[in-house]
Copies of this chain bind each other. A is one copy, B any other.
Amino acid sequence: MRDVAVIGVGMQKWGELWEKSLRDIFTESALLAIDDAGVDHIDSMYVGCMTSGLFVGQEHLGSVLADYLGVAPIPALRVETACASGGAAFRQAYFDVASGAHDIVLAGGVEKMTDVDGGGATYALSTAADAEYEVYHGVTFPGLYAMLAVAHMHKYGTTRDQLSHVAVKNHRNGAKNPLAQYPFEVTLEQVKNSVMVADPLTILDCSPITDGAAAAILCPLDMAKKLSRKQPVKVLSSAHATDSIALHSRQDLSWLSAVEKAGQVAYKNAGLTPKDIGFVEVHDCFTIAEICVIEALGFFEKGKGGRGAESGETAIGGRIPVNPSGGLKSKGHPVGATGVAQIIETVKQLRGDCGERQVKGAKVGMTQNMGGTGGSCVVHILGSV
Contact = CB atoms under 8 A, between A and B. Distances in A.
Interface of A: 1, 21, 23, 50-51, 53-54, 56-64, 66-67, 72-82, 88, 92, 95-96, 98-101, 123-124, 126-132, 135, 239-246, 249, 257-258, 261, 371-372, 375-376
Contacts of A53: 51, 53-54, 124, 127
Given A75-B241, A81-B77, A59 B63 contact: no
A26 to B, nearest CB: 13
Number of copies: 2
Given A73-B258, A78-B79, A245 B60 contact: yes
A72 B124 CA distance: 24
Contacts of A51: 53, 59
The secondary structure that dominates the A interface is mixed
A72 B262 CA distance: 12
A256 to B, nearest CB: 11
A132 B22 CA distance: 10
Contacts of A98: 99, 101
Nearest to A78: B80
A50 B58 CA distance: 11
A288 B127 CA distance: 36
Most chain B CB within 10 A, of A82, A98, A126, A239, is at A82
Nearest to A102: B95
Contacts of A243: 63, 67, 72-73
A375 B67 CA distance: 9
Return the 7 tightest CB-CB contacts between A and B, nearest first. A99-B99, A75-B240, A60-B82, A58-B131, A63-B375, A59-B127, A73-B241
Given A1-B101, A59-B51, A101-B98, A73 B135 contact: no
Nearest to A76: B242
9 contacts: A59-B128, A63-B258, A72-B241, A72-B242, A74-B242, A75-B241, A76-B240, A78-B79, A99-B101
Nearest to A58: B131
A101 B371 CA distance: 22
A333 to B, nearest CB: 16
Nearest to A376: B63
Given A56-B131, A73-B242, 20 more contacts: A23-B132, A51-B59, A57-B131, A57-B135, A58-B132, A59-B128, A60-B375, A62-B81, A63-B244, A63-B258, A63-B376, A67-B245, A67-B249, A73-B261, A74-B241, A76-B240, A77-B240, A79-B79, A95-B96, A99-B99
